[in-house]
Amino acid sequence: MIVAMPAKPNESATLRQVAKQAGVHLSTASRALDPERRHLISRDIVARVEAAARTVGWRPNRAAASLRRGRSNAIGVLIPDMANLVTAQIMQGVETAIVSRGFFPLVVSTRATPAKAVVDRLLWQRVEGVVDASGDADMARALAKAGVPTVLTARADPEGLFSSVHADRECAANLAIDHLYALGHRAIAVLASPQDIQLSIDRLNFCLAALARHGLQPAAVAIADASTRDAGLRALEPLLARRAPQGPHHFTAVCAANDLLALGAYEAARKAGLTVPHDVSVVGQNDMLMADLVSPPLTTVRLQHYDMGRQAGDLLIEEIEARLSNEGTPRPPRVIVFRPEFVVRESTAAPSA
């Protein structure tokens, strides 16, 4: 029995060779090998073609198929950087959603690259859609201008042009503040993230609103210049310094805009000789990876980043497919809102004095 082996194991055989080996026409081979069109071909020919494909070592060639069908099957996934604990989860959710539907993620980190360059790269790759978790408003604008189907998630709010999936920010703020209030805290400091993206602005405003619902003013508001532990530390330190008991700036709890800032609050407290939660309670937001591993384990608002990523992926693919069928009619953007959960751990307690 003669078995044809691929010349170079590296360079895959073409459909033409498969067809020759199987003794059928090129296009018959193409159909037999495509699960979507296999049914058009008789059982035994399919088997023959499959065997032939195996012996010559055939692998489909994406570039050729993409070119011919005008579809890349690529989805751009935009994240600020690869080493971000919250977008990592989103990314993973998106991957899960799209891979099962035959698409694949093209992950691009945006922090170090101007929006225009990122979008150019995506267009050159002919991505069929984008999940944007970059939080960058420029990016959203550039994407809109390019006309790529896009779903924003978790970190940015467009001008209403795109679908988006995000957490209920008002609810998140209420969860945190209500928890502190219920514990008996009345003097609460707010540690906000840089007010350069909508997410951060919303978090601060809803936090203030939640305080107001209880008839409270914030004991202090600090705005960090980055979402890092150090920035949180720097922002909170001066406030802690002038925290004279019963003074106007005294506070017994800190409501931080995200978990990294909350860790900054830990550090600031430690430096001021205070312990968490005995002297000061701290609540974060995100429930990022590791939030349960710090000490004390962080009480925080859990946002379902993985699920939001999945949902964003699903929604995006729906939109891509909708576009392919009803060409003319652009469908209105959809907004999906996730309800956050509250996770009580050990960084909060009743005020001590």
Where are the extended beta strands (E) located within the chain?
Answer: 74-79, 104-109, 129-132, 150-153, 163-167, 188-192, 220-223, 253-256, 281-286, 299-302, 335-338, 341-343
Closer Cβ to a copy of itself, 168 or 279, answer by number? 279
| CB nearer DNA, residue 64 or residue 344 | 64
The answer to whether residue 191 forms part of the interface with DNA (CB under 7 A) is no
Q: Nearest distance from residue 65's CB to DNA, in Å? A: 4
Sheet containing strand 188-192, edge to edge, reads: 220-223, 188-192, 253-256, 281-286, 299-302, 341-343
Is 154 in contact with 94 (CB distance < 8 Å)? no
Strands 341-343 and 299-302 turn out to be: antiparallel
Nearest distance from C-beta of residue 100 to a copy of itself, angstroms: 11
User: In this chain, which stretch among 41-49, 240-248, 289-297, 300-308 interacts with DNA, using CB under 7 A?
Assistant: 41-49
Residue owning tokens 């979402």: 227
For a copy of itself, which is the closer residue by CB, 37 or 62? 62
> Looking at beta carbons only, is 72 or 258 nearer to a copy of itself?
72
CB nearer to DNA: pick between 25 and 116? 25
Select the binding partner of residue 25 from DNA, a copy of itself, none (C-beta < 5 to 8 A, by kind).
DNA
328-335 contact pairs (CB < 8 A, 24+):
333/160, 333/161, 333/162, 333/163, 333/164, 334/163, 335/163, 335/164, 335/165, 335/166
Q: Does residue 41 bind DNA (CB under 7 A)?
A: yes
Comparing CB distances to a copy of itself, the nearer of 33 and 167 is: 33
Binding-site partner at residue 334 among DNA, a copy of itself, none, CB < 5 to 8 Å by type: none
* Contact indicator for 252, 188 with CB cutoff of 8 Å: yes
The residue count for binding DNA (CB under 7 A) is 27
B/e letters for 83-100, b = 16+ CB within 10 Å, e = fewer, are ebebbbbbbebbbbbbee
Contacts with DNA in 49-88 (CB under 7 A)?
A: 58-61, 64-65, 67-70
Choose the stretch contacting DNA; rule: CB under 7 A; options: 13-21, 138-146, 169-177, 311-319.
13-21
Residues lying near DNA in the complex (CB under 7 A): 14-16, 24-28, 30-31, 33-34, 37, 40-42, 45, 58-61, 64-65, 67-70
